[in-house]
Structure 1
């Protein structure tokens, strides 16, 4: 039986490090996905996105295939793997669901799918792994060892701000700078 394990991280660098550790542990790159906001800003292009991956991930197999896609409601994201390919296909084909639909199709429940999409929209990164039951404990140890975002606490924060679910028709999120 195959399981899908997904975790979100506050930074792309942490997520890329997790991907590299998963590959080093023997999980095939084809079973790992990474989707995250471009930390260099909206004006960046696909070449810069690939440069981010190369700089962070070095020789990691998954990151070698890194590219940029634009997802409705999120904007440009750095993406690689099966989840990214599914989301890109949905966007290119104007299929319903986009990133949320890709998560749901991968076995993530709907509430979590909306949470993960919103996390990417707000600048986080998501790593998702398809793995066998025998590899699941090792994958979870690697992913949890990188201190993922506390889903429940973050959902509470989002809801306190009035959020209820990811809206792909919304403008990409832009954090406001704190007033000093």
Structure 2
């Protein structure tokens, strides 16, 4: 019987530790990663993060399904199971994840929604207490929010507002 993929739950933020420990035991492991933009204390960095937080995948043949050994591995909580049944993950699902990786090994996802305005485009606030003020579109913040830069009282003010609240000045 050919090998099958199985999901394994990991301890919080211990996916890499669990992957390394399972690989040291000779298991074939797949931990899909994304390159996430992290903002902390006004500093922006890009860091690898698991695509499925708290999970990784192990490729096992029938003779390799040592569930107690996997369960007792550092960083692992338990293989995903329903009672004594360990559901396999279709090869096509893992193949789809692997085929969507970029040249650096990260799952390629769009982290920024498509912006209705170009960065630097002049915009006007339509509603709110700042109605009528003009500013410059900076970037999207989530699916429906935007960051704009207002020039108000000789100061640049960063304002976050909904996209529906903006219109182009042209």
TMscore range, shorter length: 0.3 to 0.5
TM-score by length of 2: 0.34
Specify which structure has the higher proportion of helix. Answer: 1
TM-score by length of 1: 0.32
State the structure with bigger RCO (CA 8 A, min sep 6), 1 or 2.
Answer: 1
